[in-house]
């Protein structure tokens, strides 16, 4: 999938935000994997912050508006 417009990038950013929120709201089915979920969430959050700062998304992008 190519994200050639800011609109497409913003939509992808909302999808990333939904994944972040889901991993915050639910526990891993296998408790042994919870640390992996936590690590993945932290890395996704860091990546999201970097993408926002770098101008990957439009100037109107607000990840707090992502609905799940």
Over the stretch 12-21, which tens digit does the pLDDT of each residue have? 999 999 999 9
Is there a domain that residue 61 lies in? no
Q: Domain total for the chain?
A: 1
Nearest-5° Cα angle at 67, 25 to 38: 30
Task: Write down the pTM of the prediction.
Answer: 0.87
Question: Regarding predicted confidence, which is higher, 11 or 31?
Answer: 11
Q: Are 63 and 13 within 8 A, CB to CB?
A: yes
Is there a domain that residue 44 lies in? yes
Rounded Cα distance, 63 and 10, in Å: 9
Rounded Cα distance, 1 and 22, in Å: 23
Is the confidence at residue 5, as pLDDT, over 90?
yes
Tell me the percentage of the chain whose pLDDT exceeds 70.
99
Expressed as residue numbers, the domain containing 16 is: 6-55
Over the stretch 32-59, which tens digit does the pLDDT of each residue have? 899 999 999 999 999 999 999 999 999 9
């Amino acid at each position: 999938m190519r994200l050639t417009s800011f609109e497409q990038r913003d939509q992808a950013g909302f999808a990333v935000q939904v994944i972040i929120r889901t991993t915050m709201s639910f526990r891993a089915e296998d408790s042994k994997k919870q640390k992996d979920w936590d690590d993945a969430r932290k890395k996704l959050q860091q990546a999201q912050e970097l993408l926002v700062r770098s101008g990957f998304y439009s100037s109107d992008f607000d990840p707090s508006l992502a609905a799940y």
